[in-house]
Amino acid sequence: MCKVLPNQDYLRPVYKHKNLPLLITDEFRFYRIIKFNNDYYGKTISKLHAGNLRPVSDENRYSKLFSGKSVSYWADSLKTARAEFYHHYGNKSYISFFSYDDASSSFPTTDNKQALVIIDGRRVQFHIILEKFEEKIPLSDEEISIIKQIEELEPDCLAYESVRCKGGINYLFFEKGFKKLSLREVTLNIKRGNKRNRKSVLCAFGSDYTPKPESYGKCFFPIAKLKTDEEYLKSEEYHRRNSIYQNNADLFIAPFRDYLNKKIQHTENNKDDQTGTVN
């Protein structure tokens, strides 16, 4: 048991491939910051999060490396995410996302119970491949081979060094891995002159990441205000998340409930009917 990446909790089992830089492990925190625009007002947290998985486009250029697969970019910390954001957009208004691998929660809200399958791109200096691709420098045969091998392994995500934040790690999530993420907190940060207005939505709380499924139906409104989309609370997604959460919560408390019921039954069986005292 060890900690192989900076945003992972300590003392988690880590399974490593003998020859390839492939890890299977869990209990991570991920961060992402996107530039805010007014079109995001009125959209549920669920829709905003779904928009983090992006198809191939000029802004999502790295997906072209992987046969046009939809990908999502995350970081190991807010520090790394901010460094990446400020490099591209400067001191603009933004929305930040704080997520975790849902299966590691005491109360998951998805059916996916598998740990994350991660390619440790640090071992093959994948950040250099991305830099060359961004600067339109042709990749070597070896680098093209590395990309093909990654695709063949079908990982959940790829970890690689951040160029903008020394010591930071970025993550490129594929769709399979993205679906394993749930949200802990989403924050709107609006810049108005020299001031900023902030508003946060808590989607899970506590060290066990206890979920609040209804929070996925919250919407941001001007300026940094919150409302609930009542239609979301009628949606299939909400009922699925809430049902899975309630089932897992029931399983978690069942042993305690059985213990208390036995104690109560023992007390009732040994109570003196006349005095009301327990023998």
Cα gap 210→175, rounded to integer Å = 24
- The residues spanned by each domain of the chain are 15-256
Chunked into runs of 10 residues, the chain (279 residues) has average pLDDT values of 78 79 93 96 98 80 82 97 94 96 93 93 92 91 92 94 95 96 97 87 93 97 92 97 91 60 50 51
Cα gap 4→120, rounded to integer Å = 9
Q: Which helix (H) or strand (E) holds 74?
A: strand 71-75
Cα gap 249→93, rounded to integer Å = 37
DSSP state of 2: B
DSSP code string of 122-154:
GGGTHHHHHHHHHTTPPPPHHHHHHHHHHHHH-
DSSP state of 164: S
User: Model pTM?
Assistant: 0.87
**Helices 126-134 + 141-153 axis angle, to 10:** 110
